[in-house]
Structures are given as structure tokens and as C-alpha cells.
Amino acid sequence: MTVLAVAGTIVLLSAALVYWVSIWWLLLTAFVGLNMLQSAFTGFCPAAMLFKKLGIQPGAAYK
């Protein structure tokens, strides 16, 4: 759950940055989207691994 919450927060933040700062922030949105897509197919998620090392319990999607 934490991974999805962080990903959603970054997407919303980057959308706000596109609106108020620069169109180049769409690269951050694309990066997050591509990472979520590859994670869906491979099961490999660097954020989930990092959170696990920090002691944060994985959500149902990454058990």
C-alpha cells in the first residue's frame, strides 16, 4: 500500500509542477508510470525493496 500511495503522490505532485513550473516535469510522471508498468510485469519494484529494508510492511500487491 505504501508503494502505491507514494507513486500516486508523486504523480499528483508532478502534475502540479507541470501546471505551475514547467512542462519538463512530465518526465517524472513518465518515469513513475514506466516503473509501475515494469513492476506489474516483472514483480520487481525498487521502492518496495527500499521500504522493506526500512521496516515498512508491504501491501497486498507486493507480498
Reading phi first (left if > 0) and then psi (alpha if -120 to 50, else beta), residue 55 is in left
Residue 61 pLDDT > 70, yes or no?
Answer: no
- Reported as a single tens digit per residue, the pLDDT across 1-54 is 788 899 999 999 999 999 999 999 999 999 999 999 999 999 898 888 898 899
CA distances (Å), 61 to each of 1, 3, 48, 49, in order? 7, 9, 10, 13
- pTM for the whole structure: 0.80
Reading the block at residue 18, the C-alpha cell is: 507541470
